[in-house]
Amino acid sequence: MQAISLIIVDDHEIIREGLKAAFQKDPDFQIAGEAACGRELLQLLKTTTADVVLLDDRLPGESGIDLCASLTRQYPTLKVIILTAYGEQRDSIVKAATVGARGFLLKNVPLPALRHAIKSVARGEVVIDPQVAIHLIASLKEMPPAKATPTSLLTPQQEAIARLVAQGFTNREIAQQLYLSTNTVKFHVQNLLRKLEVRNRVALANKLQEVSGSFTKKQDSP
C-alpha cells in the first residue's frame, strides 16, 4: 500500500510539530508539507501534491472552512479533514460538508482514531468525530419542525387538479385533461377546499398563487 501523503495546516507550530512527529514514525503516512495559513498552503500546493490536508478550522484572519471551499474547487482530488476545538458548531459542520470537507474531527482526537480517519478519507469515505455527531444530533432535535406548506398537504393527483383549478378550468375540463370522471374531480375539489381551508374555487386559486408562482391563474371560474 502506498503511503498517504499529508499536508498539515495550523497556525500553532507546536501542533504542526506534534502531528509531524506522530506521522513521520508511521510508514503508512508521508508528510508532504506544512503551512501556518491559507496563503502558505496555496503557495505550497503549486509545487506539492498530497492526498489529504489536515486543516485547522480557525486560521489567523480567515476561516478554515472558507479555505476548504477554495481547495475543493481548485484541487478536486484533494481530500480535506477539518480539525476543530469546538464540537458544538452545527452550522460550521453543515457548511464544511457543503463545501466538500471529507472529515470533521476534534483536535483532541486520539492518534489511533486520527490515523484511522485519514485512511478512511483517503479511501473516499466521510468521517465525523463521534462527539461532534452527538452535538449535531442534539441540536437538530432542538430545531422546530418545518411548517407544512399548503401544497405539501396534497397528493400528486390533488396537486394536478389544484393547478388546473387555479388556471380557471371547470370540473368537466379538468376531468377531460386528467382522464377522470367529473364526479371524481368534484370530490377532489371539495377535499382541496377543506384541506386548504377556503370556501370556493376563487379563494383556492388565490391561496395557491400566494405560495407558488407556478399556479398561474388564467381566469376565475364560478
- Percentage of the chain surpassing pLDDT 70? 82
CA dihedral 123, 124, 130, 136 (to 10 degrees): 180
Question: What is the Cα–Cα distance from 197 to 206, expressed in whole angstroms?
Answer: 12
What is the average pLDDT value for the chain, to the nearest integer?
A: 83
pLDDT values of the chain reduced to their tens digit, one per residue, 222 residues: 689 999 999 999 999 999 999 999 899 999 999 999 999 999 999 999 999 999 998 888 888 888 998 898 899 899 999 998 876 666 677 777 778 889 889 888 899 999 999 999 999 998 988 877 776 666 666 656 655 555 666 777 888 888 888 888 899 999 888 888 889 989 988 888 888 788 888 887 777 776 555 454 444 443
Is the pTM of the predicted complex or chain greater than 0.75?
no
Which residue blocks in the chain are alpha helix, DSSP H?
13-24, 38-44, 64-74, 90-98, 111-122, 130-142, 156-166, 171-178, 182-195, 201-211
CA dihedral 120, 42, 39, 70 (to 10 degrees): -70
* pLDDT tens digits for range 31-82: 999 999 999 999 999 999 999 999 998 888 888 888 998 898 899 899 999 9
